[in-house]
Amino acid sequence: MTSSSSLGSSQITLQFDLNRNIDGAAQDVQAAIAKAIQQLPSTMTTPPSYRKVNPADQPVLYLSLSSEILPLSTINKYAETQ
């Protein structure tokens, strides 16, 4: 497990044994998030989420978004949904 944090954002990376079924591991992570969400501040703008990734895959595209008038949470929602 590794983690990194910056202003308004934290990322935790979990690495499982290669013999572990990735879908089973994802279900365990989702269950842990659901259990922990009750202990998180009610002022969080977005709930925690997870995604399955293969660390051996390389990104095809890096994308950067910014705005002089929109809040970061709006930009983040746009990036995740579009």
Let me know: does 63 contact 79? Beta carbons within 8 Å. yes
In tens digits, what is the pLDDT along the chain, a chain of 82 residues? 888 888 878 888 888 888 888 889 989 999 998 998 889 888 887 888 888 877 777 777 788 888 899 998 898 888 888 8
Q: Where are the alpha helices (DSSP H) in 1-82?
A: 22-36, 72-81
How far apart, in whole angstroms, are the C-alpha atoms of residue 63 and residue 79?
9
Q: What is the pLDDT of residue 35?
A: 92
Let me know: does 73 contact 46? Beta carbons within 8 Å. yes
Phi, psi (rounded to 5 degrees) for 15: -120, 125
What amino acid occupies position 52?
Answer: K
